[in-house]
A and B are shown apart, each in its own frame.
Chain A
Amino acid sequence: MIEATALTKRYGATTAVNELTFTAQSGRVTGFLGPNGAGKSTTMRLILGLDSPDAGRVLVDGVPYRQLKDPLRTVGAMLDATWRHPGRSGRDHLRWLAATNGIPDKRVEEVLALVGLTSVGKTRVLQYSLGMQQRLGIAAAMLGDPRVLLFDEPVNGLDPEGMAWIRQLLHALAAEGRTVFVSSHLLPEMAQTAQDLVVIGRGRLIYQGTMEDFVAQTSEHGVRVRTPHADRLRAALSGQAEFTEAGGAFVVSGLDSDRIGQLAFDAGATLHELSPITGSLEQAYLDLTRDAVEFAVPSPEASR
Protein backbone atom coordinates (compact mmCIF):
# COMPACT_ATOMS: atom_id res chain seq x y z
CA MET A 1 0.00 0.00 0.00
CA ILE A 2 1.16 3.53 -0.77
CA GLU A 3 -0.23 6.39 1.34
CA ALA A 4 0.55 10.00 0.53
CA THR A 5 -0.56 12.68 2.97
CA ALA A 6 -0.54 16.37 2.05
CA LEU A 7 2.59 15.75 -0.01
CA THR A 8 4.12 18.99 -1.27
CA LYS A 9 7.22 19.61 -3.37
CA ARG A 10 8.43 22.96 -4.68
CA TYR A 11 11.19 23.65 -7.16
CA GLY A 12 11.97 27.31 -6.78
CA ALA A 13 8.77 29.21 -7.52
CA THR A 14 7.04 26.18 -9.06
CA THR A 15 4.95 23.93 -6.86
CA ALA A 16 5.24 20.58 -8.60
CA VAL A 17 3.17 18.65 -6.08
CA ASN A 18 0.64 20.48 -3.96
CA GLU A 19 -0.98 19.02 -0.80
CA LEU A 20 -1.43 15.70 -2.56
CA THR A 21 -3.23 13.01 -0.56
CA PHE A 22 -4.06 9.59 -1.99
CA THR A 23 -3.72 5.87 -1.37
CA ALA A 24 -2.92 2.96 -3.64
CA GLN A 25 -4.27 -0.31 -2.28
CA SER A 26 -2.58 -3.69 -2.41
CA GLY A 27 -4.05 -6.22 -4.79
CA ARG A 28 -5.13 -3.47 -7.17
CA VAL A 29 -3.69 -1.74 -10.19
CA THR A 30 -3.90 1.96 -9.41
CA GLY A 31 -3.59 4.26 -12.39
CA PHE A 32 -1.87 7.57 -11.77
CA LEU A 33 -3.19 9.89 -14.39
CA GLY A 34 -2.50 13.47 -15.32
CA PRO A 35 -1.42 15.64 -18.23
CA ASN A 36 2.28 16.08 -18.93
CA GLY A 37 3.83 18.26 -16.25
CA ALA A 38 1.11 17.48 -13.70
CA GLY A 39 3.65 16.21 -11.14
CA LYS A 40 3.39 12.46 -11.68
CA SER A 41 7.11 11.81 -11.96
CA THR A 42 7.88 14.12 -9.06
CA THR A 43 5.39 12.21 -6.92
CA MET A 44 7.05 8.94 -7.88
CA ARG A 45 10.45 10.34 -6.93
CA LEU A 46 9.05 11.47 -3.58
CA ILE A 47 7.65 7.97 -2.97
CA LEU A 48 11.12 6.51 -3.60
CA GLY A 49 12.94 9.05 -1.45
CA LEU A 50 14.93 10.35 -4.43
CA ASP A 51 13.57 13.83 -3.74
CA SER A 52 12.65 15.14 -0.30
CA PRO A 53 9.17 16.63 0.16
CA ASP A 54 8.83 20.20 1.42
CA ALA A 55 5.78 19.16 3.42
CA GLY A 56 3.66 16.09 4.01
CA ARG A 57 4.84 12.52 3.80
CA VAL A 58 4.42 9.33 1.86
CA LEU A 59 4.54 5.82 3.32
CA VAL A 60 5.10 2.51 1.58
CA ASP A 61 3.53 -0.36 3.50
CA GLY A 62 3.41 2.00 6.48
CA VAL A 63 7.08 3.03 6.40
CA PRO A 64 8.89 5.97 4.79
CA TYR A 65 10.92 4.62 1.86
CA ARG A 66 14.24 5.80 3.28
CA GLN A 67 13.72 3.63 6.36
CA LEU A 68 13.32 0.42 4.37
CA LYS A 69 16.14 -2.08 4.74
CA ASP A 70 17.12 -3.49 1.33
CA PRO A 71 14.30 -1.45 -0.28
CA LEU A 72 14.42 -3.36 -3.58
CA ARG A 73 12.91 -6.28 -1.70
CA THR A 74 9.86 -4.18 -0.77
CA VAL A 75 9.48 -1.72 -3.62
CA GLY A 76 10.33 -2.29 -7.26
CA ALA A 77 10.23 0.71 -9.50
CA MET A 78 10.86 1.73 -13.06
CA LEU A 79 10.84 5.49 -13.19
CA ASP A 80 12.85 5.78 -16.37
CA ALA A 81 13.96 2.88 -18.55
CA THR A 82 16.92 4.96 -19.75
CA TRP A 83 18.54 4.88 -16.31
CA ARG A 84 21.27 2.47 -17.36
CA HIS A 85 24.77 2.65 -18.80
CA PRO A 86 24.47 1.91 -22.53
CA GLY A 87 27.83 0.17 -22.62
CA ARG A 88 26.91 -2.37 -19.96
CA SER A 89 25.15 -5.62 -20.77
CA GLY A 90 21.59 -6.14 -19.57
CA ARG A 91 22.71 -8.95 -17.31
CA ASP A 92 25.50 -6.88 -15.70
CA HIS A 93 23.07 -4.01 -15.21
CA LEU A 94 20.80 -6.33 -13.22
CA ARG A 95 23.75 -7.96 -11.43
CA TRP A 96 25.07 -4.77 -9.88
CA LEU A 97 21.60 -3.63 -8.91
CA ALA A 98 20.84 -7.02 -7.34
CA ALA A 99 24.15 -6.97 -5.48
CA THR A 100 23.31 -3.70 -3.70
CA ASN A 101 20.51 -5.44 -1.81
CA GLY A 102 22.19 -8.83 -1.50
CA ILE A 103 19.93 -10.42 -4.10
CA PRO A 104 21.59 -13.55 -5.57
CA ASP A 105 22.63 -13.77 -9.24
CA LYS A 106 20.18 -16.65 -9.67
CA ARG A 107 17.36 -14.12 -9.36
CA VAL A 108 18.93 -12.06 -12.18
CA GLU A 109 18.48 -15.04 -14.50
CA GLU A 110 14.89 -15.47 -13.31
CA VAL A 111 13.86 -11.91 -14.06
CA LEU A 112 15.67 -11.97 -17.41
CA ALA A 113 13.58 -15.03 -18.29
CA LEU A 114 10.43 -13.37 -16.92
CA VAL A 115 10.75 -10.47 -19.36
CA GLY A 116 12.08 -12.60 -22.19
CA LEU A 117 15.59 -11.11 -22.39
CA THR A 118 17.63 -14.21 -21.55
CA SER A 119 19.02 -14.53 -25.07
CA VAL A 120 20.27 -10.92 -25.13
CA GLY A 121 21.52 -10.84 -21.52
CA LYS A 122 25.12 -10.49 -22.67
CA THR A 123 24.37 -7.84 -25.27
CA ARG A 124 25.25 -4.27 -24.44
CA VAL A 125 22.16 -2.20 -23.72
CA LEU A 126 22.90 0.33 -26.48
CA GLN A 127 21.85 -2.36 -28.95
CA TYR A 128 18.47 -2.85 -27.24
CA SER A 129 15.29 -1.62 -28.88
CA LEU A 130 13.02 0.70 -26.91
CA GLY A 131 10.79 -2.24 -26.02
CA MET A 132 13.75 -4.30 -24.81
CA GLN A 133 14.95 -1.40 -22.65
CA GLN A 134 11.49 -1.16 -21.16
CA ARG A 135 11.56 -4.88 -20.42
CA LEU A 136 14.97 -4.52 -18.79
CA GLY A 137 13.57 -1.76 -16.59
CA ILE A 138 10.71 -4.03 -15.57
CA ALA A 139 13.14 -6.86 -14.87
CA ALA A 140 15.08 -4.49 -12.61
CA ALA A 141 11.88 -3.59 -10.76
CA MET A 142 11.11 -7.30 -10.24
CA LEU A 143 14.57 -8.19 -8.85
CA GLY A 144 13.60 -8.13 -5.19
CA ASP A 145 10.21 -9.83 -5.72
CA PRO A 146 8.67 -6.68 -4.21
CA ARG A 147 5.20 -6.24 -2.69
CA VAL A 148 4.89 -2.75 -4.15
CA LEU A 149 5.57 -1.84 -7.77
CA LEU A 150 5.84 1.60 -9.35
CA PHE A 151 5.98 2.18 -13.06
CA ASP A 152 6.24 5.61 -14.66
CA GLU A 153 4.74 5.62 -18.18
CA PRO A 154 5.69 1.98 -18.83
CA VAL A 155 4.00 1.75 -22.22
CA ASN A 156 5.53 4.92 -23.67
CA GLY A 157 6.83 4.17 -27.12
CA LEU A 158 5.80 0.52 -27.11
CA ASP A 159 4.07 -1.29 -29.94
CA PRO A 160 0.58 -2.73 -29.32
CA GLU A 161 2.04 -6.14 -28.56
CA GLY A 162 4.34 -4.67 -25.93
CA MET A 163 1.47 -2.69 -24.44
CA ALA A 164 -0.66 -5.80 -24.14
CA TRP A 165 2.22 -7.66 -22.52
CA ILE A 166 2.71 -4.96 -19.88
CA ARG A 167 -1.02 -4.76 -19.23
CA GLN A 168 -1.21 -8.49 -18.59
CA LEU A 169 1.87 -8.37 -16.39
CA LEU A 170 0.42 -5.55 -14.26
CA HIS A 171 -2.85 -7.43 -13.83
CA ALA A 172 -1.02 -10.60 -12.87
CA LEU A 173 1.12 -8.74 -10.31
CA ALA A 174 -1.93 -7.15 -8.69
CA ALA A 175 -3.74 -10.49 -8.69
CA GLU A 176 -0.87 -11.85 -6.59
CA GLY A 177 -1.79 -9.24 -3.96
CA ARG A 178 0.86 -6.68 -4.82
CA THR A 179 0.34 -2.93 -4.94
CA VAL A 180 0.75 -1.77 -8.53
CA PHE A 181 1.00 1.97 -9.07
CA VAL A 182 1.34 2.97 -12.70
CA SER A 183 1.36 6.42 -14.23
CA SER A 184 0.23 7.51 -17.65
CA HIS A 185 -0.94 10.58 -19.44
CA LEU A 186 -3.07 8.42 -21.73
CA LEU A 187 -6.50 7.62 -20.38
CA PRO A 188 -7.55 4.95 -22.91
CA GLU A 189 -4.50 2.87 -21.99
CA MET A 190 -5.23 3.37 -18.31
CA ALA A 191 -8.89 2.46 -18.73
CA GLN A 192 -7.82 -0.99 -19.85
CA THR A 193 -5.21 -1.43 -17.16
CA ALA A 194 -6.23 0.24 -13.92
CA GLN A 195 -8.91 -0.72 -11.43
CA ASP A 196 -8.41 2.35 -9.26
CA LEU A 197 -7.54 5.83 -10.37
CA VAL A 198 -5.69 8.80 -8.96
CA VAL A 199 -6.00 11.82 -11.24
CA ILE A 200 -3.86 14.90 -10.69
CA GLY A 201 -3.45 18.21 -12.46
CA ARG A 202 -0.90 20.91 -11.62
CA GLY A 203 0.22 18.87 -8.66
CA ARG A 204 -3.23 18.73 -7.07
CA LEU A 205 -5.58 15.80 -6.61
CA ILE A 206 -8.52 15.92 -9.02
CA TYR A 207 -10.01 12.49 -8.47
CA GLN A 208 -9.41 9.39 -6.42
CA GLY A 209 -11.64 6.33 -6.66
CA THR A 210 -12.40 3.36 -8.83
CA MET A 211 -12.15 3.49 -12.58
CA GLU A 212 -15.83 2.51 -12.83
CA ASP A 213 -16.98 5.42 -10.67
CA PHE A 214 -14.76 7.77 -12.60
CA VAL A 215 -16.36 6.74 -15.85
CA ALA A 216 -19.87 6.92 -14.40
CA GLN A 217 -19.37 10.28 -12.73
CA THR A 218 -17.71 12.05 -15.55
CA SER A 219 -19.60 10.70 -18.52
CA GLU A 220 -22.27 12.92 -20.06
CA HIS A 221 -25.57 11.15 -19.48
CA GLY A 222 -28.24 11.32 -22.07
CA VAL A 223 -30.61 9.06 -23.91
CA ARG A 224 -31.26 9.17 -27.59
CA VAL A 225 -34.91 8.50 -28.53
CA ARG A 226 -36.57 8.24 -31.97
CA THR A 227 -40.28 8.01 -32.42
CA PRO A 228 -42.83 8.55 -35.18
CA HIS A 229 -45.10 10.08 -32.49
CA ALA A 230 -43.04 13.13 -31.68
CA ASP A 231 -46.02 15.12 -30.36
CA ARG A 232 -46.98 12.49 -27.81
CA LEU A 233 -43.42 12.06 -26.56
CA ARG A 234 -42.87 15.82 -26.38
CA ALA A 235 -45.99 16.16 -24.26
CA ALA A 236 -44.98 13.27 -22.02
CA LEU A 237 -41.44 14.61 -21.45
CA SER A 238 -42.46 18.22 -20.86
CA GLY A 239 -41.85 19.14 -17.28
CA GLN A 240 -40.21 15.78 -16.60
CA ALA A 241 -36.84 16.21 -18.29
CA GLU A 242 -34.66 18.41 -20.45
CA PHE A 243 -34.52 17.41 -24.07
CA THR A 244 -33.45 18.60 -27.48
CA GLU A 245 -34.96 17.65 -30.78
CA ALA A 246 -33.25 17.38 -34.12
CA GLY A 247 -34.34 15.57 -37.26
CA GLY A 248 -37.01 13.51 -35.53
CA ALA A 249 -34.65 12.34 -32.76
CA PHE A 250 -34.74 13.45 -29.14
CA VAL A 251 -31.77 13.62 -26.84
CA VAL A 252 -33.12 13.48 -23.30
CA SER A 253 -31.10 14.27 -20.20
CA GLY A 254 -32.09 13.94 -16.56
CA LEU A 255 -34.00 10.67 -16.98
CA ASP A 256 -32.70 7.16 -17.48
CA SER A 257 -33.84 4.98 -20.37
CA ASP A 258 -36.13 2.82 -18.18
CA ARG A 259 -38.12 5.84 -17.13
CA ILE A 260 -38.27 7.33 -20.62
CA GLY A 261 -39.51 4.02 -22.02
CA GLN A 262 -42.25 3.90 -19.42
CA LEU A 263 -43.32 7.50 -20.12
CA ALA A 264 -43.43 6.83 -23.85
CA PHE A 265 -45.48 3.66 -23.32
CA ASP A 266 -47.95 5.47 -21.08
CA ALA A 267 -48.30 8.23 -23.70
CA GLY A 268 -48.78 5.67 -26.46
CA ALA A 269 -45.67 6.72 -28.36
CA THR A 270 -44.00 3.98 -30.38
CA LEU A 271 -40.23 3.99 -29.96
CA HIS A 272 -37.84 3.18 -32.81
CA GLU A 273 -34.76 3.83 -30.73
CA LEU A 274 -34.01 4.17 -27.04
CA SER A 275 -30.25 4.26 -26.45
CA PRO A 276 -28.22 5.65 -23.55
CA ILE A 277 -25.29 7.81 -24.61
CA THR A 278 -22.10 7.47 -22.62
CA GLY A 279 -19.67 10.25 -23.30
CA SER A 280 -16.24 9.10 -24.30
CA LEU A 281 -13.84 8.51 -21.46
CA GLU A 282 -11.21 10.61 -23.19
CA GLN A 283 -13.61 13.55 -23.31
CA ALA A 284 -14.39 13.17 -19.61
CA TYR A 285 -10.71 13.20 -18.77
CA LEU A 286 -10.07 16.23 -20.95
CA ASP A 287 -12.98 18.07 -19.31
CA LEU A 288 -11.64 17.26 -15.89
CA THR A 289 -8.07 18.28 -16.52
CA ARG A 290 -8.69 21.17 -18.91
CA ASP A 291 -7.97 23.75 -16.24
CA ALA A 292 -4.96 21.85 -15.04
CA VAL A 293 -2.91 21.55 -18.19
CA GLU A 294 0.54 22.95 -17.61
CA PHE A 295 1.40 23.84 -21.18
CA ALA A 296 -1.90 24.61 -22.82
CA VAL A 297 -1.99 25.16 -26.56
CA PRO A 298 -4.45 27.83 -27.67
CA SER A 299 -7.22 26.46 -29.83
CA PRO A 300 -6.90 27.21 -33.56
CA GLU A 301 -9.82 29.69 -33.44
CA ALA A 302 -8.33 31.60 -30.56
CA SER A 303 -5.01 32.06 -32.27
CA ARG A 304 -6.46 33.45 -35.45
Chain B
Amino acid sequence: MIAHLLRAERIKLFSTRAPWWCLAIALVAPLGFTALFFALAGPEIPPTVGNTQLASGNGRTVLLVLAVLATASEFNWGTMRLTFQAVPSRMPALLAKVAIVGAVGAVLGLVVGFGSWGLASLVQPDADLALHSAAAWRSVLGQSLVFLFTAVAGVGVALLLRSVAFALTVVLVWTQVLEGVLVFIPGFGKHIYQWMPFHAADEFVGAGGFAAGPLGLAPAPLGPWGYLGYFVAITVALFVAGVLVTARRDA
Protein backbone atom coordinates (compact mmCIF):
# COMPACT_ATOMS: atom_id res chain seq x y z
CA MET B 1 0.00 0.00 0.00
CA ILE B 2 2.77 2.44 0.89
CA ALA B 3 4.22 2.12 -2.62
CA HIS B 4 0.85 3.16 -4.06
CA LEU B 5 0.65 6.11 -1.72
CA LEU B 6 4.21 7.23 -2.49
CA ARG B 7 3.31 7.18 -6.18
CA ALA B 8 0.14 9.19 -5.53
CA GLU B 9 2.03 11.82 -3.54
CA ARG B 10 4.75 12.00 -6.19
CA ILE B 11 2.14 12.63 -8.90
CA LYS B 12 0.46 15.26 -6.71
CA LEU B 13 3.68 17.12 -5.99
CA PHE B 14 4.98 17.30 -9.54
CA SER B 15 1.71 17.86 -11.42
CA THR B 16 1.30 21.51 -10.39
CA ARG B 17 3.60 24.39 -11.16
CA ALA B 18 4.33 25.87 -7.73
CA PRO B 19 6.74 23.12 -6.58
CA TRP B 20 8.80 23.49 -9.76
CA TRP B 21 9.07 27.24 -9.25
CA CYS B 22 10.01 26.71 -5.62
CA LEU B 23 12.68 24.19 -6.56
CA ALA B 24 14.16 26.53 -9.17
CA ILE B 25 14.32 29.43 -6.72
CA ALA B 26 15.56 27.20 -3.89
CA LEU B 27 18.46 26.22 -6.16
CA VAL B 28 19.30 29.51 -7.85
CA ALA B 29 19.09 31.75 -4.77
CA PRO B 30 21.69 30.03 -2.55
CA LEU B 31 24.03 29.25 -5.44
CA GLY B 32 23.84 32.81 -6.72
CA PHE B 33 24.45 34.36 -3.31
CA THR B 34 27.35 32.00 -2.63
CA ALA B 35 28.99 32.95 -5.91
CA LEU B 36 28.54 36.66 -5.09
CA PHE B 37 29.89 36.26 -1.54
CA PHE B 38 33.00 34.53 -2.72
CA ALA B 39 33.55 36.84 -5.66
CA LEU B 40 32.96 40.15 -3.87
CA ALA B 41 33.34 39.73 -0.11
CA GLY B 42 36.48 40.91 1.61
CA PRO B 43 38.20 39.47 4.65
CA GLU B 44 35.00 39.52 6.71
CA ILE B 45 33.96 36.28 4.98
CA PRO B 46 37.03 34.09 4.92
CA PRO B 47 36.92 31.41 2.22
CA THR B 48 36.32 28.32 4.34
CA VAL B 49 34.23 25.26 3.54
CA GLY B 50 31.75 26.22 6.29
CA ASN B 51 31.28 29.64 4.72
CA THR B 52 30.39 28.14 1.34
CA GLN B 53 27.11 27.18 3.06
CA LEU B 54 26.27 30.66 4.35
CA ALA B 55 23.56 31.27 1.74
CA SER B 56 21.98 27.83 2.03
CA GLY B 57 19.42 29.30 4.42
CA ASN B 58 17.77 30.99 1.44
CA GLY B 59 17.21 27.65 -0.25
CA ARG B 60 16.07 26.17 3.02
CA THR B 61 13.42 28.85 3.42
CA VAL B 62 12.11 28.33 -0.11
CA LEU B 63 11.97 24.59 0.54
CA LEU B 64 9.96 25.33 3.66
CA VAL B 65 7.55 27.28 1.46
CA LEU B 66 7.35 24.33 -0.95
CA ALA B 67 6.56 21.89 1.87
CA VAL B 68 3.89 24.21 3.28
CA LEU B 69 2.31 24.72 -0.15
CA ALA B 70 2.33 21.01 -0.98
CA THR B 71 0.48 20.24 2.25
CA ALA B 72 -1.67 23.23 3.21
CA SER B 73 -2.97 23.78 -0.32
CA GLU B 74 -4.55 20.33 -0.09
CA PHE B 75 -6.74 21.63 2.70
CA ASN B 76 -7.57 24.77 0.73
CA TRP B 77 -8.49 22.88 -2.45
CA GLY B 78 -10.25 19.95 -0.79
CA THR B 79 -7.88 17.32 -2.17
CA MET B 80 -6.99 16.36 1.40
CA ARG B 81 -10.60 15.21 1.83
CA LEU B 82 -10.35 13.15 -1.36
CA THR B 83 -7.11 11.69 -0.04
CA PHE B 84 -8.78 10.71 3.23
CA GLN B 85 -11.71 9.30 1.27
CA ALA B 86 -9.20 7.06 -0.52
CA VAL B 87 -7.12 6.37 2.62
CA PRO B 88 -9.53 6.51 5.58
CA SER B 89 -6.84 5.64 8.12
CA ARG B 90 -5.13 8.90 7.02
CA MET B 91 -1.79 8.23 8.72
CA PRO B 92 -0.23 6.26 5.81
CA ALA B 93 -1.15 9.02 3.35
CA LEU B 94 0.48 11.65 5.57
CA LEU B 95 3.59 9.51 5.99
CA ALA B 96 3.79 9.11 2.21
CA LYS B 97 3.52 12.86 1.81
CA VAL B 98 6.30 13.62 4.26
CA ALA B 99 8.44 10.92 2.66
CA ILE B 100 8.08 12.44 -0.81
CA VAL B 101 8.52 16.06 0.29
CA GLY B 102 11.38 15.02 2.57
CA ALA B 103 13.09 13.11 -0.26
CA VAL B 104 12.80 16.16 -2.49
CA GLY B 105 14.34 18.18 0.34
CA ALA B 106 17.19 15.72 0.78
CA VAL B 107 18.07 15.80 -2.92
CA LEU B 108 17.77 19.58 -3.05
CA GLY B 109 20.02 19.85 0.03
CA LEU B 110 22.60 17.63 -1.62
CA VAL B 111 22.60 19.75 -4.76
CA VAL B 112 22.65 23.05 -2.86
CA GLY B 113 25.39 21.84 -0.49
CA PHE B 114 27.69 20.50 -3.19
CA GLY B 115 26.70 23.18 -5.66
CA SER B 116 27.53 26.01 -3.28
CA TRP B 117 30.86 24.45 -2.40
CA GLY B 118 31.65 23.76 -6.06
CA LEU B 119 30.75 27.28 -7.18
CA ALA B 120 32.81 28.81 -4.37
CA SER B 121 35.77 26.69 -5.45
CA LEU B 122 35.38 27.91 -9.02
CA VAL B 123 35.07 31.56 -8.02
CA GLN B 124 38.06 31.42 -5.63
CA PRO B 125 40.30 28.74 -7.10
CA ASP B 126 43.23 29.78 -4.89
CA ALA B 127 41.40 29.26 -1.60
CA ASP B 128 41.81 25.97 0.16
CA LEU B 129 38.31 24.56 -0.03
CA ALA B 130 39.25 20.91 -0.33
CA LEU B 131 37.23 18.50 1.76
CA HIS B 132 39.98 17.12 4.00
CA SER B 133 38.20 16.95 7.29
CA ALA B 134 35.10 15.32 8.66
CA ALA B 135 33.85 18.81 9.51
CA ALA B 136 34.23 19.89 5.88
CA TRP B 137 32.28 16.88 4.66
CA ARG B 138 29.64 17.57 7.31
CA SER B 139 29.27 21.14 6.03
CA VAL B 140 28.64 20.04 2.48
CA LEU B 141 26.84 16.69 2.84
CA GLY B 142 25.02 17.76 5.99
CA GLN B 143 22.82 20.13 3.99
CA SER B 144 20.99 17.08 2.72
CA LEU B 145 19.89 16.19 6.26
CA VAL B 146 19.09 19.78 7.16
CA PHE B 147 16.91 20.20 4.06
CA LEU B 148 15.19 16.85 4.61
CA PHE B 149 14.09 17.81 8.10
CA THR B 150 13.25 21.36 7.04
CA ALA B 151 10.71 19.76 4.68
CA VAL B 152 9.40 17.63 7.54
CA ALA B 153 8.88 20.79 9.62
CA GLY B 154 7.04 22.48 6.73
CA VAL B 155 4.63 19.57 6.34
CA GLY B 156 4.07 19.50 10.10
CA VAL B 157 3.30 23.22 10.39
CA ALA B 158 0.91 22.99 7.42
CA LEU B 159 -0.91 20.02 8.98
CA LEU B 160 -1.29 21.94 12.22
CA LEU B 161 -2.52 25.18 10.63
CA ARG B 162 -4.39 23.80 7.56
CA SER B 163 -4.29 27.10 5.67
CA VAL B 164 -1.76 28.21 3.06
CA ALA B 165 -1.89 31.87 4.09
CA PHE B 166 -1.63 31.16 7.80
CA ALA B 167 1.10 28.54 7.54
CA LEU B 168 3.20 30.59 5.09
CA THR B 169 2.96 33.63 7.33
CA VAL B 170 4.07 31.62 10.33
CA VAL B 171 7.07 29.98 8.66
CA LEU B 172 8.22 33.17 6.92
CA VAL B 173 7.87 35.36 10.01
CA TRP B 174 9.68 32.69 12.00
CA THR B 175 12.62 32.22 9.63
CA GLN B 176 12.94 35.76 8.30
CA VAL B 177 12.10 37.84 11.35
CA LEU B 178 11.79 36.09 14.69
CA GLU B 179 14.94 34.01 14.72
CA GLY B 180 17.01 37.03 13.69
CA VAL B 181 15.37 39.54 16.01
CA LEU B 182 15.36 37.47 19.18
CA VAL B 183 19.10 37.78 19.50
CA PHE B 184 18.78 41.51 20.08
CA ILE B 185 16.61 41.14 23.18
CA PRO B 186 18.90 42.41 25.92
CA GLY B 187 20.05 39.78 28.37
CA PHE B 188 18.52 36.42 27.57
CA GLY B 189 18.05 37.04 23.80
CA LYS B 190 21.47 35.65 22.93
CA HIS B 191 20.81 32.52 24.96
CA ILE B 192 17.44 31.90 23.34
CA TYR B 193 18.98 32.50 19.93
CA GLN B 194 21.34 29.62 20.46
CA TRP B 195 18.34 27.33 20.79
CA MET B 196 16.49 28.51 17.67
CA PRO B 197 15.92 25.53 15.36
CA PHE B 198 17.37 27.01 12.18
CA HIS B 199 20.33 28.44 14.08
CA ALA B 200 20.83 24.87 15.27
CA ALA B 201 20.76 23.68 11.67
CA ASP B 202 23.37 26.30 10.75
CA GLU B 203 25.56 25.20 13.64
CA PHE B 204 25.39 21.62 12.39
CA VAL B 205 26.70 22.53 8.93
CA GLY B 206 29.25 24.95 10.38
CA ALA B 207 27.59 28.01 8.86
CA GLY B 208 26.56 29.52 12.21
CA GLY B 209 30.04 30.62 13.19
CA PHE B 210 29.86 33.69 10.97
CA ALA B 211 27.31 35.32 13.26
CA ALA B 212 28.83 34.15 16.54
CA GLY B 213 31.74 36.60 16.58
CA PRO B 214 30.07 39.95 15.85
CA LEU B 215 27.04 39.07 17.98
CA GLY B 216 29.22 38.12 20.91
CA LEU B 217 27.47 34.80 21.43
CA ALA B 218 28.53 32.50 24.22
CA PRO B 219 30.18 29.25 23.16
CA ALA B 220 27.66 26.93 21.50
CA PRO B 221 25.87 24.80 24.08
CA LEU B 222 25.82 21.74 21.81
CA GLY B 223 28.26 20.16 19.38
CA PRO B 224 27.32 19.88 15.69
CA TRP B 225 25.71 16.45 16.02
CA GLY B 226 23.93 17.51 19.19
CA TYR B 227 22.56 20.44 17.26
CA LEU B 228 21.41 18.15 14.44
CA GLY B 229 19.63 15.93 16.96
CA TYR B 230 17.97 18.99 18.46
CA PHE B 231 16.86 20.24 15.03
CA VAL B 232 15.54 16.82 14.01
CA ALA B 233 13.65 16.45 17.28
CA ILE B 234 11.85 19.76 16.77
CA THR B 235 10.90 19.08 13.14
CA VAL B 236 9.72 15.53 13.84
CA ALA B 237 7.73 16.76 16.84
CA LEU B 238 5.97 19.31 14.58
CA PHE B 239 5.15 16.59 12.06
CA VAL B 240 3.93 14.11 14.67
CA ALA B 241 1.73 16.77 16.26
CA GLY B 242 0.34 17.63 12.81
CA VAL B 243 -0.42 13.99 12.05
CA LEU B 244 -2.10 13.34 15.39
CA VAL B 245 -4.30 16.41 15.04
CA THR B 246 -5.17 15.66 11.42
CA ALA B 247 -5.97 12.00 12.02
CA ARG B 248 -8.46 12.90 14.71
CA ARG B 249 -10.10 16.00 13.29
CA ASP B 250 -13.15 15.95 11.03
CA ALA B 251 -11.86 16.45 7.51
Contact = CB atoms under 8 A, between A and B. Distances in A.
B3 to A, nearest CB: 8
A32 to B, nearest CB: 18
B15 A66 contact: no
Contacts of B1: 102
Contacts of B4: 99-102
B8 A80 contact: no
B81 A84 contact: no
B76 to A, nearest CB: 9
A52 interface: yes
Contacts of B82: 83-84, 97, 140
Nearest to A50: B251
A65 interface: yes
Contact of A71 (B8, B73, B86, B250): B86
Nearest to A140: B82
A66 B91 CA distance: 12
A83 B79 contact: yes
Contacts of A77: 85
Interface string B170-181: 000000000000
B84 A99 contact: no
B86 A87 contact: no
A140 B86 CA distance: 11
A96 B83 CA distance: 9
A88 B73 CA distance: 12
A84 B78 contact: yes
Which of A83, A86, A95, A100 lies at the interface centre, i.e. has the most chain B CB atoms within 10 A of its CB?
A100
A82 B77 CA distance: 7
A93 B74 CA distance: 12
A88 B78 CA distance: 13
A203 B83 CA distance: 27
Interface in A32-89: 45, 48-52, 65-66, 68, 71-72, 77, 79-80, 82-89
B86 A100 contact: yes
Given A65-B88, A66-B89, A77-B85, A83 B77 contact: yes
Given A50-B251, A87-B17, A99 B79 contact: no
Contacts of A101: 4, 86
A85 B17 contact: no
A51 B251 CA distance: 6
A80 B79 CA distance: 10
Which of B15, B16, B79 lies at the interface centre, i.e. has the most chain A CB atoms within 10 A of its CB?
B15
B16 A87 contact: yes
A84 B79 contact: yes
Given A87-B18, A96-B15, A50 B250 contact: yes
A83 B17 CA distance: 18
B64 interface: no
Which of B4, B9, B85 lies at the interface centre, i.e. has the most chain A CB atoms within 10 A of its CB?
B85
A220 interface: no
A3 interface: no
Nearest to B82: A83
A96 B81 contact: no
A92 interface: yes
Contact of B250 (A52, A87, A93, A97): A52
A51 B250 CA distance: 5
B246 to A, nearest CB: 12
Contacts of A96: 8-9, 11-12, 15
Contacts of B87: 100
Which of A71, A72, A96, A101 lies at the interface centre, i.e. has the most chain B CB atoms within 10 A of its CB?
A96
Given A45-B250, A84-B79, A87-B18, 12 more contacts: A49-B88, A50-B85, A51-B251, A71-B86, A80-B81, A82-B78, A83-B79, A84-B77, A87-B17, A95-B15, A96-B9, A101-B4
Interface of B: 1, 4-5, 7-9, 11-12, 15-18, 73-74, 77-79, 81-89, 93, 250-251
6 contacts: A84-B77, A84-B82, A85-B12, A89-B15, A95-B11, A100-B4
